[in-house]
Amino acid sequence: MSTLTHFDDQGQAHMVDVAAKAATHRIGVAGGRIEMQPATLALIESGTAKKGDVLGIARIAGIMAAKKTSDLIPLCHPLALTRVAIEFEVIHADATRASAIYCTATVETVGPTGVEMEALTALQVALLTIYDMCKAVDRGMVITDCRLLEKHGGKSGSFVASRHDLRAG
């Protein structure tokens, strides 16, 4: 197993030096879902939630979060992002799964370090925004199965999660 890169030889936390790393096209994709009551999902789909367009606002929140990741995670590098996309899939309850919204956050840059943290931050904030906007009608919502799905670019190459489809729960 590799050593943790955010600690120096004395065990002190530091920002990793990426100056010698090649600038490459880098992509990070994260996915997860928020489970809710069927009535809450119906409210979101109808666009009649008291606070407005839940998914539209959650999308903007996720994009903003990706851009602010280095302000939130202490040792992340500030990055010039070239693309942030937040996508939602509505999942209706059936015998095997709960009502939910599945979110995918895709972040891209051309630079010396990856965008996995930006994708994960965008995902979490988008889902938290859905929770915030709907908590008046459903405090029992659960944010779950958030993880890195894919990473491409850089010296370490690509990573694709072994079980990519978490929509079913």
Secondary structure letter of residue 70 according to DSSP = H
Q: Are 93 and 164 in contact (CB under 8 A)?
A: no
SS3 127: helix
Catalytic residue among 132, 138, 145, 165: 132
Distances (CA, A) of 64 to 7, 57, 132, 155: 29, 11, 16, 28
Judge whether 132 counts as a catalytic residue: yes
Q: Are 30 and 104 in contact (CB under 8 A)?
A: yes
Q: How many CB atoms lie within 10 A of CB 169?
A: 14
CA end-to-end span of the chain: 30
Q: Which residues pair with 29 in a beta bridge?
A: 106, 150
Consecutive H or E run containing 122: helix 116-134
Q: Known catalytic residues? A: 132
